[in-house]
Amino acid sequence: MFISILIPVYNKENYLNECIKSVISQTYDNFEIIIINDGSNDNSEKIILEWLDRDDRIRYYKHTNAGVSQTRNRGIDLAKGEYIFFLDADDELTPNALQSLVNNAKEYQSDIVMGNYIHVYSQDSKKRPQPTKYKYSGNDLYSTNTKIELFITSSRLLSMVTNKLYRLDFIKKHNIRFDTDVLAEDRLFNLKSYVYRPIITAIKDYTYLYNHLEESRSQSLKSTFYEESIGLLCIFNDYLKDTNQCNANNIELMELSVIYDVFKIINMTFEKSEHRYRSLYKITKKLRSNKVLMDNLDNIFQNKKYKGINNRAFNRMRLLSYLLYKWPLIIMIYKYLGAIKKKIES
């Protein structure tokens, strides 16, 4: 089984050597490495050219800076493998990563294989919880509980593209591309993939080292999470309509995404603000002005199927979404807390 490994590069001279080395030293060796230089102005190209002379499995391309989405889309077009793996230039693979993923893909004829990953910080590393199930296909993917596990309980499993093998024919058949006008391009790519009922399998092995860097764009998402999340939900909502995929399964997927994002937006607002309740009041008012969001919340709280879900994380998110839905209650709580604060200060 031939694998295409795509590495977009933009100014990663400090990490690129270790990234490429982690691929070259894989126990599984039937692969090509597609490196696309996205207009770097540091020493990244020098490092790439040195590796190019050392291993003929590397194919090198470059273009003026276009962003990671456009770069990955070009990589999809260039890939020759049966499967494609997206690797960020500041991350690494564990030594047996490809072998573990390929074994699973062969066994289940998977369209998507998810590996576990390790968060690497400057001081230590953290292992993500393992999924409770290791194969999702057919009717399984239509289960509400499956969607909750994949998108809420262990949301990063499908929020990232960089810990997975994707069957290239599946991506091309459904014309799944990275959007260039959103920051959370990974999540939108996976939502689109999920729409077409892929065979998804998950392995226990840790395959990916995800480096948390100070300058990493993903670290800045907290400050723009509202715009990012609402923008993504609106784009995905339009995508379902444009592709005539507004069936019950995908509408439920949209609803669960709304619950997840509402929770994250409110939680982040509450955590980072000095004036927590005032900020909560403002962000709630802002959220309620979005028609896509509120239409989906209407569906959620009128549908009895969500009431019987036995999942603590989901129910906590649903409760917070309900407070948003019941806007007068938020106002009452806000005014009550404000009155208490004034009384204490006087």
Q: Is pLDDT above 70 for 21?
A: yes
**Which CA distances in Å does 172 have to 7, 84, 177, 204?**
19, 11, 9, 28
Q: Which residue has the tokens 């002005």?
A: 289
276-310 residue pLDDT tens:
667 767 777 777 788 888 888 888 888 878 777 87
The pLDDT assigned to 315 comes to 79
Higher pLDDT, 143 or 274: 143
Q: What is the DSSP string of 148-164?
A: HIIIIITTHHHH-STTE
Q: Which residues contact 162 (CB under 8 A, 6 or more apart)?
A: 86, 87, 88, 91, 117, 186, 208, 210
Q: Which residues contact 194 (CB under 8 A, 6 or more apart)?
A: 141, 150, 158, 253
Q: Are 333 and 327 in contact (CB under 8 A)?
A: no
Q: Is pLDDT above 60 for 220?
A: no
Determine what percent of the chain falls in helix, strand and coil, rounding each to the nearest 5: 55, 15, 30
Q: Is pLDDT above 90 for 196?
A: yes
Tell me the mean pLDDT in the region 204-228.
Answer: 68
Confidence of residue 218 (pLDDT cuts 50, 70, 90): very low
Q: Are 156 and 128 in contact (CB under 8 A)?
A: yes
90-142 residue pLDDT tens:
999 999 999 999 999 999 999 999 998 888 876 666 666 556 566 777 667 77
**Which CA distances in Å does 266 have to 74, 150, 170, 226, 249?**
36, 21, 36, 9, 26
One-letter amino acid for residue 95 of the chain: P
The pLDDT assigned to 239 comes to 93
Residues of the chain with CATH 3.90.550.10: 3-215
> Beta partners for 38?
63
Encoding tokens for residue 270? 């509450």
Closest CA to 187 of 223, 144, 221, 142: 221
Q: Is pLDDT above 80 for 333?
A: no
> Beta partners for 100?
none
Top mean-pLDDT range of 69-73, 161-165, 223-227, 324-328: 69-73
The pLDDT assigned to 221 comes to 46
26-46 residue pLDDT tens:
999 999 999 999 999 999 999
Encoding tokens for residue 154? 């262990």
Closest CA to 216 of 88, 84, 320: 88
Confidence of residue 219 (pLDDT cuts 50, 70, 90): very low
Confidence of residue 274 (pLDDT cuts 50, 70, 90): low
Higher pLDDT, 203 or 11: 11
Tell me the mean pLDDT in the region 8-17.
Answer: 96
Quote the mean pLDDT of the chain. Answer: 84
User: Tell me: domain 3-215, CATH 3.90.550.10, correct?
Assistant: yes
Strands 200-211 and 92-93: antiparallel
Helix boundaries (H) for 86-222? 97-108, 144-148, 156-159, 168-173, 185-195
The pLDDT assigned to 81 comes to 98
Helix boundaries (H) for 207-247? 225-242
The pLDDT assigned to 68 comes to 95
φ, ψ for residue 333, nearest 5 deg? -65, -45
53-101 residue pLDDT tens:
999 999 999 999 999 999 999 999 999 999 999 999 999 999 999 999 9
The pLDDT assigned to 154 comes to 66
Q: Is pLDDT above 70 for 329?
A: no
Based on the number of CB atoms within 10 Å of its own CB, is 136 exposed (0-12), middle (13-18) or buried (19 or more)? buried
The pLDDT assigned to 325 comes to 67
Q: Is pLDDT above 90 for 172?
A: yes
Q: What is the DSSP string of 307-342?
A: GG---HHHHHHHHHHHHHHSHHHHHHHHHHHHHHHH
Sign of the Cα torsion 273, 278, 284, 286 reads negative
Cα–Cα distance for residue pair 130/94, rounded to 1 Å: 16
252-272 residue pLDDT tens:
888 888 888 887 777 777 666
> Beta partners for 44?
none
Q: Is pLDDT above 60 for 342?
A: yes
To the nearest 10 degrees (0 to 180), the angle between helices 185-195 and 225-242 is: 30
